Amino acid sequence: MVAPLKLSVVISTYNRRQVLVSQCLPAILHQDIPADQYEVIVIVDGSTDGTGAALRDLRPTCALRILEQPNSGLSRARNTGIQMARGEVVLFIDDDIVCRPDVVRRHIEAHAGAEPTVVHGAVHGAVATPASIVGNAVESWYREYNRRLAEHGAAIWPEGLFVIGNSSTPRSTLLACGGLDEDLPAMDDFEIGLRLWKMGVKFKYLPEAVACELSVKSWRSYLFNDGEAFGRSEVLLCRKHLDHRQRSRLLAGMGRASLWRRTLKRIAIQAPLSPAYLFVPAIWVCDKFCRFPFMQKAGLFLLGIARYLTQLRAAYREVGSWKDFQAEFAVRLPALLYHRVGPPKQGALPGLTVSPARFERHVRWLARHGFQGICPADWSRWLKEGTPLPKKPVLLTFDDAYEDTAEFALPILRRYGFGGAVYVVTGKVGETNLWDQPKGAGLLRLMNKEQIRFWAGQGIEFGAHSRTHRDLTKLSAGELEDEVAGSKKDLAAILDSEVDSFAYPYGFKNEAVRNVVRQHFAIALTTDEGINDIRDEPHMIRRAYVSPNDPTLGIAWIVRWGTLLYFHDWRVRIRLRTRIRRALGRSVSQTVS
């Protein structure tokens, strides 16, 4: 009886006969293990350079299986190889990679355990490769790749870097996950790695299994062909794995970028001709003289900028329009923090009270300028599910759930069609704000259960604000769990529905507090100021505090900058200048008289 093969090497190739036959295959066909333990499968994906004929002339000692097919793309060719494989483990090798003689053996040994594992070996730039900018870029990338893998012992997901070349996986695992995504023009290796990680498959770095990549691409192909494919793939990947949008180096971050940066990017991606072409002459010169360190660095820098622009324009075309691009990746969310909205009252802290008239002016200004009030759950659904948001969303929140908020603020919100969120101290529902007494405040009534239920039915979201409004950073683990999880349970009982958002009392938090909040809530709000965008951790939502005397111009400042810091500085400067002018005016008058 013939023993089953331990490993199948799958190589997909397209018009690289010379490097495949002269360097890649000789290395993989002469490994330091018995030839009957592995096979090599080469998928000739529509090559027109005589690759198939050259392969049929080979006389290897191990099994070499060749399949010629019409050009179908790298992912489909790799999936064909998976289907053909007879080995228990599949090792992917690219047609421009040269392996050391022990690579196959080390991959087989690494799969000796019973648990399915993705094993990825080290990849370096080949020393013998002629000097080029692309070769330098590849070597630089792999240097960082190997460093990160060595530091963590494997790819760290979901931010992991994963190269499928010189990686091996049990064939049954690859079949169970459905193989590689054939709709992606690039990044199929990262996508399947992400999918395997979500399935619970373990990853292992094997630095002893060394392979070297030959630099056979031209810088033009790297810049334009690969840049186009990677840009389109980034959008497709983000749509398939919505949580990846927050980590996309290409697409995330536009929302919080400064106005001039967003403007420049918009011009670059919508221009009739790609700005990347402006860099072509300089890149050509740097490539010709890249043996000099200065030209090498300059070439890498320029190539990086041009590649980024190419990818960004490709991503934009895949999305379809600037409006859709913003809605999918660049939403900006300003959030406003109020406490009590109501008329002056005995015992109310002046610094925490905004008059109903002023609050309505704030909301009216927002509505007139196209803003729409959303709830935290809307933001959470956009992050997780891609559920569309208004063009200009804004989040209005009210901490402590004062009774006056229900009487004055919430009717104003609904009058303008705004949603919003109220954060309840669940152990004091229907009682008073005892936590404000040390600040010199009198006792004020808080919303009761009936008011909470009524306004929840009117489109207002209610979230937890702990049970007793204590400083969570000073509590024991048991007390912290009671304050956080207990408040969720209390409020869910009142609303008879799930509660997904939390506001940190006083804005105080540390890693222990955040970890507990993450376990129980989908989203959490801080008192840190700034604009929120897709990159932000859902449990660190920023809010700008609105003080009693902030005019509508201050609200305009918040929705633009996410803070009133610059606004107050500006007002102080204006007042100072006014006082100086008045003082100078009086001095001149006295001198004249």
CATH assignment at residue 202: 3.90.550.10
**Locus of tokens 């808080």:** 446
Asked if the structure places residue 521 within a domain, the reply is yes
pLDDT attached to residue 130:
67
389 and 418 both lie in a single domain? yes
Asked if the structure places residue 581 within a domain, the reply is yes
Asked if the structure places residue 12 within a domain, the reply is yes
17 and 105 both lie in a single domain? yes
Instruction: Report how far residue 431's alpha carbon sits from residue 429's, in angstroms, rounded to the nearest whole number.
Output: 5
| Mean pLDDT of all residues belonging to the chain | 89
Picking from 179, 196, 217, the residue at the C-terminal end of a domain is 217
Give me the number of domains the chain comprises.
4
Residues 119-146: what's their mean pLDDT? Answer: 83
Task: Convert the pLDDT of each residue in 528-582 to its tens digit.
Answer: 999 999 988 999 999 999 988 888 888 888 888 777 765 544 444 444 344 444 4
Confidence of residue 484 (pLDDT cuts 50, 70, 90): very high
Amino acid at 511: E
pLDDT attached to residue 127:
65
Range scoring the smallest mean pLDDT among 123-132, 155-164, 492-501: 123-132
Picking from 299, 329, 359, the residue at the C-terminal end of a domain is 329
pLDDT attached to residue 111:
93
Asked if the structure places residue 415 within a domain, the reply is yes
Task: Convert the pLDDT of each residue in 191-211 to its tens digit.
Answer: 999 999 999 999 999 999 999
| Domain that includes residue 253, residue range | 227-329
pLDDT attached to residue 574:
40
526 and 573 both lie in a single domain? no
Asked if the structure places residue 317 within a domain, the reply is yes
Name, in order, each residue with C-beta under 8 angstroms of 384's C-beta and a sequence gap of 6 or more. Answer: 242, 243, 522
Residue 590 in this model has a pLDDT that exceeds 60:
no
159 and 179 both lie in a single domain? yes
Asked if the structure places residue 2 within a domain, the reply is no
266 and 340 both lie in a single domain? no
Instruction: Report how far residue 377's alpha carbon sits from residue 393's, in angstroms, rounded to the nearest whole number.
Output: 13
252 and 202 both lie in a single domain? no
Instruction: Report how far residue 186's alpha carbon sits from residue 232's, in angstroms, rounded to the nearest whole number.
Output: 8
Residue 390 has a CB neighbour count (10 Å cut-off) of 14
406 and 291 both lie in a single domain? no
Asked if the structure places residue 361 within a domain, the reply is yes
Picking from 199, 217, 235, the residue at the C-terminal end of a domain is 217
Instruction: Report how far residue 185's alpha carbon sits from residue 307's, in angstroms, rounded to the nearest whole number.
Output: 16
Residue 160 in this model has a pLDDT that exceeds 80:
no
Residues 162-179: what's their mean pLDDT? Answer: 93
Asked if the structure places residue 63 within a domain, the reply is yes
Q: Sign (positive/negative) of CA torsion 173, 174, 178, 181?
A: positive
Residue 416 in this model has a pLDDT that exceeds 90:
yes
